[in-house]
Amino acid sequence: MTGVHFIDGDQAACEGALAAGCRFVAGYPITPSTEVVERFASRIPLIGGLFIQMEDEIASSIAIQGAVWAGKKVMTVTSGPGLSLMMEHVGFAAITETPCVFVDVQRGGPSTGLPTLPAQSDMMQVKWGSHGDYEPIALSPNSPQECFDLMINAFNLAELYRVPVFFMMDEVVGHMTERVVIPEASAIEVAERRWTGKPPGEYRPYEANDDLVPDMVKAGDGYRIHVTGLTHDERGYPTMHPAGQKKLVERLVGKIRHHRERLVDVRMDGLDDAEVVLVSFGITSRVAGPAMEEARQRGGRVGHLRLVITWPFPSSLLRKLAKHVKAFVVPELNMGQMVLEVERAVAGKAQVISVPHPGGTVHEPEDILQKILEAAR
C-alpha cells in the first residue's frame, strides 16, 4: 500500500494501524466508524492477522485484551454509544496495563443521537469515563493523512506506556477523502512491545522499570502470568489493603504524569506576538484556521494552538501563554468540554471564551471570527 492514495480518514486510520503492526481487531459495526473495520477485514487476510465481528461493543473491548496477552498488537473501533459500553474494559486495560488502541469516530449525542453527523463530545468521557484513577492518552487527527500518521503514534504510545490509547476522530475527518502518502515500511518508526529479558523464575508481570512501566511476556512462553482487575502486587496477585492500592495506583498515574512534558504534541501558528490564541483540535482546527486568517487581515494579533495529543492536556504550555496573551478562544463541537481544561490551566490569568457547537455540522468560520474580535477589544 505504499505510495499516494486518495482515501478517507477511516481507511487511512486502518492503514496506519496495519503499518504499526496491528494484527488483531475485534469490533461491532457502528456508524460512522464501520469503514475502519471493513477495510481491516478485507486487508488482514493478505498480511496475516485476524478480524472478529463480535456480538457487541462490550465483547469487542475485552476480546482485544485477551489478544494482547497472546502477543498481538490490537485495536477496537466504535463511536459514542459503543464507547459508553466499553468503559468498564477501559478501566480493566488501565489497571492490567494492557496496551491497546480504542478508535472513536465521534458523532452527535447523547444516546443514539446523530449517527451520520459529527461532534467532538466524547472528549471528557475518554478521560473520566471509567471509574477510579488512571491516565489515558488521546490523539485527535484533523485529516486523513494524520489518521495514518497519528495512528502509528497511538500504537507506539500504547506500547511505550502500557496504557489504553484513544484515537479521537470525528465523522467529518472519518469520511473526508484526501491525498494520503504511505511511505515504505523502512521509513516508519514502529515501537515494539517491551518484552522482558528475565528468565521465567525471575520475572514479575508488574515489576516496574525506572520509567514506572513493567516489561511484558505473552502466554505460552513458560512465564507465570496472573492478570486481574483487582488491586494487585508485582506478581499480579490480589492485594486487598490500602498500602497495595497506594503503591499500584500512584504508579499507574505516575507513569504518565511523570512523562507529561514528553507527551505534549501541539501545532503552533503565530503565537510569538499573539494577543488572542485559538485553541482547537480535530476538524474544528480546520475551520478555525480561516477565522484566524481573516482576523489577521483585519489587523488582529491572533495565534493558533492545535492540540494533537489532547490527553494528557498541555497545561504548562497554556500557563506560559497566559502570561502574555489577553484571551483564549476555544471552539469545539460540544457544549464546552476542553474549554474547561483551558480555564483550569489559565487559572484566571487571561480571559477564556468558549465557542460551543452541539454538533451535526461544523462551526461557521464567521462565528469563530466574531469571538476573536470580541476578545481583541
Q: Mind listing the pLDDT tens digit for each residue in 325-354? A: 999 999 999 999 999 999 999 999 999 999
105 in any annotated domain: yes
Which of the four pLDDT bands, split at 50, 70 and 90, describes residue 121? Answer: very high
pLDDT score at 188: 97
Q: Structural domain of residue 94, as residue ranges?
A: 3-187
Query: Is the domain of 178 the same as that of 271?
Result: no
Residue with C-alpha cell 498488537?
A: 73
Please work out, in degrees rounded to the nearest 5, the angle formed at the alpha carbon of residue 187 by the alpha carbons of 214 and 27.
60
Query: CA–CA distance from 330 to each of 268, 304, 372 (Å)?
Result: 15, 10, 10
Amino acid at 348: G
Cell numbers for 195: 518484552
Of 164, 187, 210, the residue at which a domain comes to its end is: 187
Residues 25 and 158 in one domain: yes
What is the pTM (predicted TM-score) of this model? 0.97
* pLDDT tens digits, one per residue of 29-49: 999 999 999 999 999 999 999
Q: What is the pLDDT of residues 146-196, one digit of tens each?
A: 999 999 999 999 999 999 999 999 999 999 999 999 999 999 999 999 999
The CATH number assigned to the domain holding 291 equals 3.40.50.920
Q: How many domains does the chain divide into? A: 2
Contact by Cβ (8 Å): 216, 194: yes
Look over the chain and give the mean of its residue pLDDT values, rounded to a whole number: 97
Which grid coordinates are listed for 232?
494487585
Please name every residue paired with 330 in a beta bridge, in sequence order, or none if there are none: 354
The domain boundary, picked from 154, 171, 187, lies at 187
Residue with the three cell numbers 466574531: 370
> Which triple of cell numbers denotes residue 1?
500500500
Q: Note whether residue 206 is domain-resident.
A: no
CB 322 within 8 A of CB 349: yes
Q: Which triple of cell numbers denotes residue 73? A: 498488537
Helix (H), strand (E) at residue 244:
helix 242-257
Is the residue at 142 inside a domain?
A: yes
- Residues β-bridged to residue 279: 305
Contact by Cβ (8 Å): 139, 154: yes
Q: Are residues 175 and 279 in the same domain?
A: no
Residue 243 lies in a domain: no
- The sign of the torsion formed by the CA atoms of 199, 203, 208, 213 equals positive
